[in-house]
């Protein structure tokens, strides 16, 4: 009976901690989703010679999607945060428990926190990449005008190839009219060459170019056109981003934690002989140190985040991937850029949106840690 009550008590405590984690994640997502949308749009719309500022982006989002456009991708962001944070903090706690094993005061050095953060961030990237893909594409769609709002003439009937590769998409009549004008001077023997060309996936849009993100109607449309491999688009740059973020976040957090602990110990009289006599930090102190660490980690990982966001906005149909494989197409850029997944055309754009991401990461870490600890103290009491 005693063992049953003990197990029940442990399950109750676990459920309360899980509920507190849910409160922290919900608070973080609700506060930072608009900043995440603006950060992504600043990264994606950046060009070598021009870039939209924050006020222009907000005005465009409001005109095309309303104020709700600032919360585009909220569902995917929420779905991805819970398992990603679970992997990040769970792996970190397991590795640091290994480091602390055998030590009297269960102390973790800054270098150990950095290494544990690198490993936990790399594992986190495998979990969060599919959710990030659809989140980024939903955010980009919020400032993209759909062709149906730009044309007053009727769209063409969808062909069988289009319906298989891109369900729900209607070909652009303007592009097909342009193809007809280009082919009109040629001595065409085919009875209806335009209809024949529509059966080739290379002319799925009428221009020979891949469709835009706005033409994809959700996950099923992306998988149908690009294959299952699209779920891990940008994984390579994502591993470096999440590893750098987690490594710098946990090491900076441990460094600031040590400073605050030493300051508290200095103010105590008599001086404490162990960490247990100092006691834990307050939720406010933990939140502030976590927020500062999140901003520092954002600086260290932002270039990889930009490369990842820009790569996830590129639609690469299956037939293009197949062509590249057959032709043994070599990815452009230096070996370092190919290894970390950075497009050489984005070299001058890697730090666009840095300030917004610093604010977003700082607020996110502050809200996550603060909301979690406040919820834990409330539920356990």
| Report for 193-202, 260-269, 284-293: range of highest mean pLDDT | 284-293
Question: What is the structure's pLDDT at 320?
Answer: 79
Q: Could you please report the per-residue DSSP string of 361-372? A: HHHHHHHHHHHH
Asked if 292 contacts 363 with a C-beta cutoff of 8 angstroms, the reply is no
Where residue 153 falls among pLDDT bands split at 50, 70, 90? very low
**4 has pLDDT over 50:** no
- Closest residue by Cα to residue 73 from 146, 147, 149, 130: 130
Q: Are 323 and 271 in contact (CB under 8 A)?
A: no
302 in helix, strand or coil?
helix
Residue 151 confidence (pLDDT): 46
Reported as half-sphere exposure (CB side, CA atoms, 13 A), residue 339 has a value of: 3
pLDDT of residue 82: 87
Region of 208 (left: φ > 0; alpha: ψ -120 to 50; beta: rest) is: left
Count CB atoms within 10 A of the CB of residue 244. Answer: 23
Q: Position of tokens 């700082």?
A: 362
Res 155: pLDDT: 46
Q: In percent, how much of the chain has pLDDT > 90?
A: 33
Q: Which domains does the chain have, with CATH numbers?
A: 25-144+228-380 (1.50.40.10), 149-211 (no CATH)
**pLDDT exceeds 70 at position 317:** yes
137 versus 157: the higher-pLDDT residue is 137
* pLDDT number for residue 125: 95
288 sits in the region (left: phi over 0; alpha: psi -120 to 50; else beta) called alpha
Q: What tens digit of pLDDT does each residue of 101-116 get? A: 877 767 888 999 999 9
What digits encode the pLDDT tens for the residues 322-347? 878 888 888 888 889 889 989 898 88
Task: Please measure the distance between the N-terminal and C-terminal CA atoms of the chain and give it in whole angstroms.
Answer: 25
- Tell me which of 35 and 317 has the higher pLDDT: 35
Question: Which is more confidently placed, 206 or 315?
Answer: 315
Rounded distance, CA 301 to CA 77, Å?
19
- Evaluate if residue 3 carries a pLDDT over 60: no
Residues 186-202 have a mean pLDDT of: 64
> What is the Cα–Cα distance from 297 to 88, expressed in whole angstroms?
14
pLDDT above 50 for 197: yes
pLDDT over 50 (residue 1): no
Quote the mean pLDDT of the chain.
81
How many Å apart are CA 48 and CA 310, to the nearest integer?
Answer: 14
Cβ atoms < 10 Å from Cβ of 366 = 25
Residue-level pLDDT at 172 = 66
Question: Which of 11-25, 53-67, 182-196, 290-304 has the largest mean confidence?
Answer: 290-304
* DSSP letter (8 states) at residue 269: S
Rounded to an integer, the average pLDDT of 359-366 is: 94
Q: Give the position of tokens 């050095």.
A: 109
CA distances for 333 relative to 305, 337, 342, 344, 346, angstroms: 18, 6, 8, 5, 10
Query: Mean per-residue pLDDT for 57-85?
Result: 88
- For 341-364, give one letter per residue: b (16+ CB within 10 A) or e: bbbeebeebbebbbebbbbbbbbb
User: How many angstroms separate the CA atoms of 259 and 254, rounded?
Assistant: 9
**Residue 254: what pLDDT?**
93
């Amino acid at each position: 009976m005693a063992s049953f009550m003990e197990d029940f008590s442990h399950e109750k405590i676990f459920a309360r901690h899980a509920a507190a984690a849910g409160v922290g994640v919900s608070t973080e997502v609700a506060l930072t989703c608009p900043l995440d949308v603006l950060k992504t749009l600043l990264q994606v719309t950046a060009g070598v010679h021009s870039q939209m500022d924050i006020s222009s982006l907000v005005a465009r989002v409001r005109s095309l999607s309303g104020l709700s456009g600032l919360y585009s991708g909220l569902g995917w962001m929420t779905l991805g945060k819970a398992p990603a944070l679970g992997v990040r903090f769970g792996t970190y706690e397991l590795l640091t428990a290994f480091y602390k094993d055998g030590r009297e005061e269960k102390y973790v050095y800054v270098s150990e926190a950095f290494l544990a953060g690198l490993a936990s961030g790399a594992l986190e990237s495998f979990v969060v990449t599919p959710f990030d893909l659809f989140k980024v594409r939903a955010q980009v769609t919020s400032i993209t005008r759909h062709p149906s709002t730009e044309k007053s003439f009727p769209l063409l009937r969808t062909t069988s190839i289009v319906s298989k590769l891109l369900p729900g998409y209607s070909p652009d009549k303007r592009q097909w009219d342009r193809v007809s004008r280009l082919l009109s001077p040629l001595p065409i023997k085919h009875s209806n060459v335009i209809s024949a060309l529509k059966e080739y996936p290379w002319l799925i849009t009428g221009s020979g170019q891949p469709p835009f993100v706005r033409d994809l109607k959700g996950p099923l449309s992306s998988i149908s056109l690009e294959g299952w491999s699209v779920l891990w688009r940008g994984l390579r740059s994502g591993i470096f981003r999440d590893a750098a973020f987690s490594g710098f976040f946990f090491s900076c957090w441990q460094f600031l934690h040590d400073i605050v602990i030493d300051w508290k110990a200095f103010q105590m009289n008599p001086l404490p002989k162990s960490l247990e006599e100092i006691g834990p930090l307050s939720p406010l102190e933990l939140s502030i140190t976590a927020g500062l660490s999140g901003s520092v980690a954002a600086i260290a990982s932002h270039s990889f985040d930009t490369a990842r966001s820009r790569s996830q906005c590129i639609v690469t149909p299956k037939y293009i991937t197949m062509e590249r494989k057959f032709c043994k197409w070599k990815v452009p850029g230096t070996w370092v850029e190919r290894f970390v997944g950075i497009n050489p055309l984005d070299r001058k754009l890697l730090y666009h949106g840095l300030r917004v991401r610093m604010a977003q990461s700082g607020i996110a870490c502050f809200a996550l840690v603060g909301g979690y600890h406040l919820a834990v103290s409330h539920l356990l009491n």
